[in-house]
Structure 1
Amino acid sequence: MRCEYFAAGLCASCTVIETPYPDQIAHKQERVAGLLAPLAPDLTWLPARASAEQGFRTKAKMVIAGTVDAPTIGILAADGTGQDLRDCPLYPAALAQAFPVLAEFVTVAKLEPYSVPRRTGELKNVLVSVAPDGALMVRWVMRSTEALARIRKHLPWLQDQLPTLAVASLNVLAEHKAVVEGEREIVLTERETLTMSVNGFDLHLRPQSFFQTNTDVAAALYRQASAWIANARPASLWDLYCGVGGFALHAAAPGRAVTGVEVSEQAIVSAQRTRDERLAEGDQAMADVEFITGDAVGWASSRADAPEGIVVNPPRRGLGESLSRWLDASGARTIVYSSCNPDTLARDLGWMPNYRAEQARLFDMFPHTGHGEVAVVLTRP
């Protein structure tokens, strides 16, 4: 895939974009297999799940810079000024078509872009997600609520220009630090969630809930994990770091007790909503599904008994020694580990010698970079 921004030296985010895509997949596979080989010499690798080469990102984290009258929407250049990336080929048409309107809204609502070198201004980022049906969630990340009244006043203009806008919010990030968003969120629309339909499940994404940026590949990941769980047939299952419930809901089955645990209360509310909707539609697989707000490490280690199956999907830092060793001693018959960081995956598996890694599969969530999602199914001999 050719990117004019990369060719001109304006953006280097896609570090391996000049490598043919099949070779990118092969290199990722070789790296991950090399990390896991000492721990699981008999591991069977299923065919890697590739992605579309462009138009695959369903979430954009765009830095706003420039001026009120001439804002840029993209990334920061090396000198701290803005580099516009509104034509980046990674984004589908629904996002690409929204970027010019969002940039114009900066001018309409007089939102002063934040200047990193001068540490002045208000608007830092705009975070945009698109659902499979084309609906949009737009989050304005500001230093304060100074512009809240103007955003509310001009929101009808934005909704008129972007008829697919479903959810809009203002996020407050007062500190000058390298993070994308803050803790405080003010929802500005009647709707508070974006419906991500994945494999027939309507997952409700709230503004601060985590969701994969490549919905198509995420759907394949859920299907694979569900197939491994179905083959193991556990009577009870935990989904640790469950987010909005993707793995737990896919793995539910009549008579199977499923518990999802996630520290984000927003995500748990979303997962519960999906479960309740499915129950109302007569899906009896949801009858024994519950979702709990809590820290995965503390919650699991406090339980007297472990389930027969466990799914873990931790952030890049991995499970860590405490939870890995707890899992190793848990006695669960089957563990499905979904990892976005092969290095911490290999480290964690080193703390779980009582389990045998049977099958693994690479899911390429992030083409043109060195990152990849890996799922492994572990069994207790």
Structure 2
Amino acid sequence: MSFCSFYDTDACRSCSMIDLFYGEQLNEKGALLHKLLHPFEPKQWLKPSPSQLKGFRNKAKMVAIPSRDGIVLGLSEESSLIQCPLYDVSMQHALGQIQTWLRELKIQAYDVRVKKGELKYVLLTRSAHNGTMMLRFVLRSHGIIGRLKNGLDDLVARVPKLTVITVNIQPIHMAILEGEEEIFLTDQTRLEENLNSIPLFIRPKSFFQTNTDIATKLYKTASEWAGESKPKIIWDLFCGVGGFALHCATPERHIVGIEIEAEAIACAQESAKRIGFENLTFKALDAASFGAESGERADVIIVNPPRRGLGEQLCKWLERVGSERILYSSCNAQSLAKDLENLSGYRVNRVQLFDMFPHTAHFETLVELVKN
């Protein structure tokens, strides 16, 4: 038996390793990482950075499901996941209040079988810094926005920590989480987070790590590794809201952060203003586009690509740039290993596992590459 009743009753099997002792989970993940990276002969394997076991997730992505009693936030008519132990008690309480409020408003969940109803998903994000939350309703159309607005004061009275509330329009009958159009129902448009005394901001479409405690350790470690050679220029590719770049910032160091999502860049720019360093630059570009246009050479390059990895083309460009060191933060050890094959001009110096996703087979890896 695990500590999760949803897993034990087969209602949810997302946490496939939850019935293992946590030490066994880390051992299995470490063994996989060693197997994949052994051919590259890392000089140093550092101890894994462990996570809390409960209440560590700062994001909840809930499917809205129709039932006779009204909307259910979870997996099926019988299985609401609002009390998932991966969320802290404040998020569980908020999700419960949101579900009750939606039922009282008689909001209809989108039924994929008959293509009727309005609400598709409820997305909730919590700041560990001050406990404030961002709530997003993903709708099929604009049809019920007025009803949501009319009941908003009541919802906020029940959950005062809800400071950012939006509607996202996703009209396509496909398993796509969100659409292009985002409509703010509140004056406030972003959450403020604070990691290692660095202010970070989260807007609806900006990427942010799901495990705040582990993200704090990951950013701190990367900034320490990056700073050891006293680099003058650092590039942060796939920078998101700027976590790595901002942690590496110093008054004398020039840092450029690149991210394709404009909302994330807006957050990073807000953080840079708050810090007050003028040599921090963030651009909304595809990393490959930046690679094609950049004329200078960075001393250290930090990359944090999506699960698909960097790909052969970007790896070849990194080799041509020839920076002395690359720090690679990966959420997919398989694609990391493929990219390391394409970065043959570098040797693996240090490797550390960060358990961003306890109870699953997933984890984050930070690798330091040094030019041959």
TM-score, length of structure 2 as denominator length: 0.97
Residue 73 of structure 1 corresponds to: 73
The code of the aligned residue for 1:123 comes to: L
Residue 117 of structure 2 corresponds to: 121
1:370 aligns with 2:371: no
Residue 92 of structure 1 corresponds to: 88
Query: Aligned match of 2:274 in 277, 280, 283?
Result: 277
Contact 1:64/1:82 (<8 A) preserved: no
1:312 aligns with 2:298: no
Contact 2:70/2:106 (<8 A) preserved: no
The code of the aligned residue for 1:334 comes to: R
Q: CA RMSD in A?
A: 1.2
Contact 1:63/1:82 (<8 A) preserved: no
Query: For 2:151, what is the secondary structure of its paired residue?
Result: helix
1:105 aligns with 2:105: no
Higher alpha-carbon deviation: 25-34 or 105-114:
105-114
Q: Distance in 2 between matches of 1:141 and 1:20?
A: 37
Contact 1:301/1:323 (<8 A) preserved: no
Q: Distance in 1 between matches of 2:228 and 2:204?
A: 35
Q: Distance in 1 between matches of 2:71 and 2:311?
A: 42
Deviations 1:327-368 (A, max 9, x none): 122110111000000010000110001111100110111111
Amino-acid identity (%): 39
What stretches of structure 2 of length at least 5 have no aligned partner? none
1:256 aligns with 2:256: no
User: What are the within-5 Å matches in structure 2 for residues 285-304 of structure 1?
Assistant: 286-304=277-295
User: What are the within-5 Å matches in structure 2 for residues 142-291 of structure 1?
Assistant: 142-279=139-276, 286-291=277-282
The code of the aligned residue for 1:131 comes to: S
Higher alpha-carbon deviation: 298-307 or 161-170:
298-307
Q: Distance in 1 between matches of 2:299 and 2:353?
A: 25
Deviations 1:205-264 (A, max 9, x none): 001111011000001000010010111221101000111110000001121110001111
Contact 1:44/1:360 (<8 A) preserved: yes
Q: Distance in 2 between matches of 1:98 and 1:261?
A: 34
User: What are the within-5 Å matches in structure 2 for residues 327-366 of structure 1?
Assistant: 327-366=318-357
Q: Distance in 1 between matches of 2:333 and 2:325?
A: 20
The code of the aligned residue for 1:181 comes to: E
Q: Distance in 2 between matches of 1:232 and 1:360?
A: 18
How far off its partner does 1:43 sit? 3.2
Deviations 1:85-106 (A, max 9, x none): 1111111111011111110121
Residue 282 of structure 1 corresponds to: none
Query: For 1:97, what is the secondary structure of its paired residue?
Result: helix
1:54 aligns with 2:54: yes
What stretches of structure 1 of length at least 5 have no aligned partner? 280-285
Residue 7 of structure 1 corresponds to: 8
Query: Aligned match of 2:315 in 324, 327, 332?
Result: 324
- Cα distance 1:186–1:68, how it changes in 2: closer, same or farther (>3 A)? farther
Q: Distance in 2 between matches of 1:253 and 1:134?
A: 29
- Cα distance 1:83–1:118, how it changes in 2: closer, same or farther (>3 A)? farther
TM-score, length of structure 1 as denominator length: 0.95
Query: For 2:320, what is the secondary structure of its paired residue?
Result: helix
Deviations 1:107-147 (A, max 9, x none): 23332101122221110110000101110100001101111
Deviations 1:30-77 (A, max 9, x none): 101110111x213311110110111111100011112484321112x4
The code of the aligned residue for 2:140 comes to: R
Higher alpha-carbon deviation: 64-73 or 92-101:
64-73
Residue 42 of structure 2 corresponds to: 42
Contact 1:169/1:187 (<8 A) preserved: yes
Q: Distance in 2 between matches of 1:68 and 1:377?
A: 54
Q: Distance in 2 between matches of 1:330 and 1:278?
A: 29
Q: Distance in 1 between matches of 2:12 and 2:114?
A: 22
